[in-house]
Amino acid sequence: MSKISFIQGNIACAEGALAAGCRFFGGYPITPSTEIAEHMAMKLPKVKGTFIQMEDEIGSIAAVIGAAWTGVRAMTATSGPGLSLMMENIGYAVMTETPLVIVDIQRGGPSTGQPTMASQGDMFQCRFGSHGDYSIIALSPATVQEMYEMTAEAFNLADRFRVPVFLMADEIIGHMREKMTLPDTVPVMPVRERTERSTLPFKAEKDGVPGFTPFGKGHHVHVTGLTHDERGYPSTTNPDVHERLVTRLVAKVESTRREIASYDVTNPEAETVFVSYGAPTRAVWQALHDLKDDTVGHFRLKMVWPFPDWVEELFPQAQAYIVPEMNLGLISRELERHVTIPVISVPRLGGALHEPEELIRAVEGAK
């Protein structure tokens, strides 16, 4: 029986991970994400899982990648400064096609910034922060319920694509308490593991993803962050090998954009459309409720990356998009690349959520 519960977003995140079978957590304390680590420290040993507090976030993500290669579901949770430290190894996870989940409870930056205040300032960092070309998946919850469900789903996506999956939450959702339904089980997709040793462990299947070859199963796989061929052997000066590999790493995610996309469309006939993700979604909901205007719609992203660049198909009559974000306008810029009508950014810094009135004024201004 599913049960109704009243918990904090960060705890819901940890519970979602546990429900999805996460059995390894490596982390380093940082506000406003620490409750996730603390909850995992308490719960993981009881389910024969491993919690370790590493010496820093570089070590945390490294340990998580190592653990993932033993075939367990592994995750870490952090905030901006920690995410910055993880960047090199996130690129490593991409290059080595390591499935793992990174939770970022965003706080105000740059630098140490506002440890206890919300922000969405890391939305580009999670997508582009490590060097080189690559692609990742990022989900953005707006409710405590979604903290639970999206964390669980993040593991399925990570396993399916063998790619780091980000849960881009923020201090508001992380620290908010609200009612949620704890389901009995969450959908857990089986991992596509190779059953036999192959001389080409990094040869992709039709969907661009190679079957997983965890350590300890006789695969004798060599895993390296250097450009490698299908054998997994370094091949660092052959332009074709590099191009083929990097193109595949990007394509395996980007080519499925439409299939895996996750968003809510409210009022597709709208002329003015709010585009939101994460906490500002809640302000939009309130504004829509207060406005009671059927020329206003809402495009709410649950998966921010890969970005659904076919927005215009969804709102054929739109005249303007309004994008409230808790940054100086990041995803609004991404949206601008893909649409022909004006994109109005409604930035918010400092940690407080947008006021619904502010959004209503923006609608009036757009008309």
28 forms part of the interface with another protein (CB under 8 A): no
Interface with another protein (CB under 8 A), residue from 52, 150, 245, 331? 52
92 forms part of the interface with another protein (CB under 8 A): yes
Interface with another protein (CB under 8 A), residue from 5, 84, 224, 262? 224
Interface with another protein (CB under 8 A), residue from 113, 115, 183, 225? 225
Sheet of 263-266: strands edge to edge? 263-266, 296-301, 272-277, 320-325, 343-347
Considering beta carbons, is residue 68 or 323 the nearer one to another protein? 68
Specify the amino acid at residue 215. Answer: F
Shortest Cβ 66–another protein spacing (Å):
3
CA angle 47, 221, 128 (to 5 degrees): 75
Interface with another protein (CB under 8 A), residue from 7, 18, 67, 101? 67
22 forms part of the interface with another protein (CB under 8 A): no
Shortest Cβ 56–another protein spacing (Å):
7
Residue 110 CB-half CA count within 13 A: 1
Interface with another protein (CB under 8 A), residue from 69, 161, 202, 305? 69
Neighbours of 264 (CB within 10 A): 12
Q: How far is CA 170 from CA 120, 252, 322, 326, 351, in A?
A: 7, 28, 20, 9, 10
Interface with another protein (CB under 8 A), residue from 11, 18, 74, 83? 74
Give the pairing of strands 100-108 and 164-170.
Answer: parallel
| Residues from 108 through 147 that contact another protein (CB under 8 A) | none
106-123 CB burial, b ≥16 within 10 A, e <16: bbbbeeebbeebbbbbbb
Interface with another protein (CB under 8 A), residue from 5, 50, 266, 295? 50
According to DSSP, residue 2 is labeled: -
Shortest Cβ 49–another protein spacing (Å):
9
Distance CA 127, CA 346 (A): 21
Shortest Cβ 228–another protein spacing (Å):
9
89 forms part of the interface with another protein (CB under 8 A): yes
193 phi-psi bin (left φ>0, alpha ψ -120 to 50, beta other) = beta
Give the binding-site size for another protein (rule: CB under 8 A): 40
* Greatest extent of the chain over all pairs of C-alpha atoms, in Å: 64
| Residues from 202 through 221 that contact another protein (CB under 8 A) | 215-221
238 forms part of the interface with another protein (CB under 8 A): no
257 forms part of the interface with another protein (CB under 8 A): no
Rule CB under 8 A: which residues touch another protein?
A: 23-24, 26, 50, 52, 54-56, 58-60, 62-72, 74, 88-89, 92, 215-226, 233-234
